[in-house]
Every structure is written in structure tokens, then in C-alpha cells.
Amino acid sequence: MRLVWLGLVLLFIACAPVTQPQTDTTPEVSTMKLSSPAFQHNGKIPAKYTCQREDINPPLVA
């Protein structure tokens, strides 16, 4: 009976997950500011920059 218990204990120890030290995995956050001289902030996009008209790209400033 002792051998059975010993075998179960050894099996439990062998199958126990190995824990690794916790490391900070928070990604670094960066921001980007993008604007356009073609229209005001929160303003309407001129029709020529939409698929309703010329469908061209407005000038952008990063």
C-alpha cells in the first residue's frame, strides 16, 4: 500500500505544472496625431474626398 501511495505522490509531483515567475507583459502604448488641412477637426469631409465625387485622398499631416 505504501508503494501505491509513493507512486501516486511521485506521479503527482512529476505532472504538476512548473510555474514561471510573473513578468510584466503590458504592451507599450504609443499615440499618433494625424490631421488634414483640407477640413477642420470634427468637420465635414469635402465631397471631392469621398466616393460621391472625385474619390481622391486628402492631404495628410502626421
- Taking CA atoms, 16 is separated from 5, 6, 7, 10, 51, in Å, by 16, 15, 14, 10, 60
Nearest-angstrom CA–CA distance, 59 and 61? 7
- pLDDT tier at 38, thresholds 50, 70, 90: very high
C-alpha 40 chain-centroid distance: 30
pTM of the predicted structure, to 2 decimals: 0.44
Mean pLDDT on 9-36: 78
Contact, 45 vs 58, CB < 8 A?
yes
Q: Say what the pLDDT of residue 7 is.
A: 78
Domain boundary assignment for the chain: 32-62
What would the grid cell of residue 22 be?
510573473
